[in-house]
Every structure is written in C-alpha cells, then in structure tokens.
Chains A and B, each alone.
Chain A
C-alpha cells in the first residue's frame, strides 16, 4: 500500500546535470527550470556502444538528439565521408522536430555514448499542454534552421566561385598549351 501512495504522489525531478545540458542547448536556452523539467520528462535517454548506428541516412526523422557523453560522427553515405564530429553538449537531427523528412546523413557513435532524444510527437504533445512553451522552443529552432540555410547558401556560393575559378584556370592552361604547342 505504501508503494501505491508513493507512486501516486511521486515527483519526477530531473537530474541537475540534465537540466544544465538542456540550458546549454540553444533550442532550450530560454526555458525556465520548470519548463526544462517538462522537457526532461518527455526525453528518452539512450546508450550506444562505439560503432553503433543511431540512425541511417534516408530514415524518416522522428526527433533530435543531444549528446550527454561521448562523440558522434555524422556520415554522408554511400561514400562514408565524415561531415562532422560532434561532442558532449552538441545536438543533431533537429530538423526532424519540424517535419518528418528523411535523414540527410547517418549518425554513428564514435565512442560509447549517452544521448538524450526529444521526439517530434512528444514535443508537439507538450506544446498542446503548454502552448507558451511552443514559441520559446520554435523561435530558436527556426533561427538555427535559418542560420543553417544562410550557411548553406554561403557554401554553395563559395563552391560556385571555386568552380568558376577552376574552370577559368583550366581554360587558361588549355590556351597556354595550344599557344605553346
């Protein structure tokens, strides 16, 4: 009977380190302690061994991950080209919080890892129960997504300029070859 009452009125306060980790994650940086607790309650804590795949490229995205311990490698398939190495405190897969797009790359554990996963359905459910939380989370998420788009534009432009420069250099080399021949 004691167990029953204990279950009925038990609290579920988050671990302090989880709260700190969330506060250092851009998306959740604006939240109060109470709001961080509500995020903590919907998170899944997952443990991965070195070499284990978190998700495959092309899988439907269901949520984002925050690295609590360990390193994660973001890998572009099929070339297995490493796009980035992420460490404790970093997060990845956040686009899946906006919509269920296929994962643009695979995520593989480089070392033994502890990851915290926030899934889109659970987060939307939380927004339903606490609408104020929605803009506090969605605004930074949109800003991050916007920054990524600007960065991508910049990268595309840089690549385009490099291609043009290389193309011009190839033309010059060819012209010199013809005049030299």
Chain B
C-alpha cells in the first residue's frame, strides 16, 4: 500500500512536471523575459537588503540599484558598446564568412599539389567547409538577432526586474497566504531552504561568468584577436555551460583569429590563455565563490543542456544548469520536508 502511494506520488509529480514543461514551451518567449528578470532581480536582491540596513526603504533601495546600473551601463555604452557594435556589424555583414572562403581556397590550392601526387583529386574543400563551418558560423551569428531582439525587448526586463526586486517579499507573502493551513509551515520551510541553497549558488555562477568574461576579453585584446569584445563576453557566458562552454569559447576565439589573420600563429597564445583561465576558474574561482550546496550529476547537466538548447535556444543553453539546480533543490527539499512534516 505504502509502495503504491509513493509510486502514485511520483507519477503525479512527473505529470505535473511534464505539464509545466509543455506550458513553459508554449509560452517560451514571454517566459524567457520573466525568468531572466526574476533571475536578475534575485541576483540584485542582497544589494537591496544591504541598502535597507542603511535605512533605505525598499523602494529607495531598488531605485538606487537602478541608478547604479544605469551609471555602469552608461559607462559601458560610452567606452565598450561602440566597439562591440562595430564588431557585431562586421560579423553580420559577412566579412568573416568571405575571409573564411578566401582562407579555404588558399588552403585547397596549397594542398592540391602534394595530395594529387598520392592520387587524391578534386578536394572541393570550399563547398564542404561552407556547408559546415560557414553554416555553423551563420547559425551562431543568426542566434544573435534572437538574442538581440530579446535585448531589444529589454525595455520589459528592467520593468519586470524593478517590481521583482521591490515587491519580492510581498510576492512571497502573497504566495504563502494562499497555501492551505496544512502546508503552511511546510511551504515556509521549503522556501527558506531553497533560498539558502540557491541564493549563493546562482549569484556565484553569475559572478564567475562575469570574471571569466572580463579576463577573456582582456587577454584576447592583449593577443590582438579581432572581435575580442564579442568573443570575450561570449566566453564568459559560455562558461556557465559546463564542459561544453569553456571549449566552445576557446574554439571560437581560435577560429576567428585564424580566419581574420590567415595564420595559425596566435593559436598557442589563445590555447595557453584559455587553459590558464580554466585553471584559475577550477582551482580558485569555483571553490571560493560557488557553494557546494548544489551538486549536479554530470549526466543530468548534459541532459539539461541538450533539452535547454532544444527548447529555448541560446538562452536555454545558458540557463539550463541554473534552472536544473533550481528544480533539483525544489524537488529534493520538497521530498525531505514532506517526510519531516509527515505529509
């Protein structure tokens, strides 16, 4: 009987999980905005709390955070964004693709002589390269309009974020108010445990991404790699995708460097730089910043990345691991507390 109950409970949880997934998929565009706003608000929440300790009201603390963000973004847009936009523009106009074509044609000419002596004819590297690498680059660049259109929609994100920060406690209270008495203390306990575990984890993830992104940008600029203002921040963001991210960031830098300079000289420098960044990340940043509270199995991480990418594209790839961590903590804490509260 007990066995049946627990299987029934698991089935109900799975059904609810799949229903939620389906609903989220249907609302993916709106959901992306809400999730990003909520996550950003969650990241900034401790700053608002600190300001409150100095006598600010919640509203004033939220406005102060927005003022600080505006100043930082203003400085960035003055010094950094023009370079990034120019580099994006170059990527978009297809100059890079043309340079790839030229490089591949050159490579084919050099290879055809020696290879024809051993009987290899008609390499046609260009078409195979175009279908693969060029296609890949086009795809990855074409992701950016969607990412940029999301950023274009970003009038909504600050708007939502503002109310998420300002009214976070009211929202939590509103949610708890509708919980039936039987689950009241249980819900309070689960929410508190989730906040304790996820807060540090998520903030740590984003802090690590920001540090890696800044380091990668600086190093690529130092190594004279073109598009450093695009690849650096991308490498930082990609770092949030375990296993795949760091490699993808390095690989992108190598491909761009080879294509734009037409030589392989910068490869050792980039490889060493990215290896050093990764070493720093694994030996110093992760142990210092990331909380060990949320441990995810490698297989679960890979599965999450695949599903996230499939359902929500680039944003899905980036948010797959944090989102999985959130779901894991919710599920684990719910089950633990169901037992503790004899529900």
Q: Chain A residues with Cβ under 8 A from B166's Cβ?
A: 8
Q: Is B28 an interface residue (CB 8 A)?
A: no
Q: Chain B residues with Cβ under 8 A from A52's Cβ?
A: 181
Interface size class of B (residues with CB under 8 A): 20 to 34
Q: Chain B residues with Cβ under 8 A from A59's Cβ?
A: 185, 340-342
Taking CB atoms and an 8 Å cut-off, the chain A residues in 120-148 that contact chain B are 121, 125, 128-131
The CB with the most chain A CB atoms within 10 A, among B59, B189, B195, B341, is that of B189
CB atoms of A129 and B53 under 8 A apart = yes
Known pairs A9-B59, A60-B340; A129 contacts B181 (CB<8 A): no
Interface string of A97-141 (1 = CB under 8 A from B): 000000000000000000001010100010011110000000000
Q: Is B177 an interface residue (CB 8 A)?
A: yes
Q: Is A26 an interface residue (CB 8 A)?
A: no
The CA of A33 and the CA of B160, in the complex, are separated in Å by: 32
Q: Is B176 an interface residue (CB 8 A)?
A: yes
CB atoms of A63 and B341 under 8 A apart = no
CB atoms of A62 and B188 under 8 A apart = yes
A54: min CB distance to chain B, Å: 8
Q: Is B77 an interface residue (CB 8 A)?
A: no
Interface string of B323-343 (1 = CB under 8 A from A): 000000000000001001110
Interface string of A51-91 (1 = CB under 8 A from B): 01111101110110000000000000000000000000000
Q: Is A46 an interface residue (CB 8 A)?
A: yes
Q: Is B49 an interface residue (CB 8 A)?
A: yes
Q: Is B184 an interface residue (CB 8 A)?
A: yes
Interface string of A1-45 (1 = CB under 8 A from B): 000000011000000000000000000000000000000011011
If A8-B59, A59-B185, A121-B188 are given as contacts, then 6 extra A-B residue pairs at C-beta distance below 8 Å, sorted by A number, are: A41-B169, A44-B184, A56-B341, A60-B337, A129-B53, A130-B53
Interface residues of B (CB under 8 A from A): 49, 52-53, 59, 166, 169, 173, 176-177, 181-182, 184-185, 188-189, 192, 195, 337, 340-342
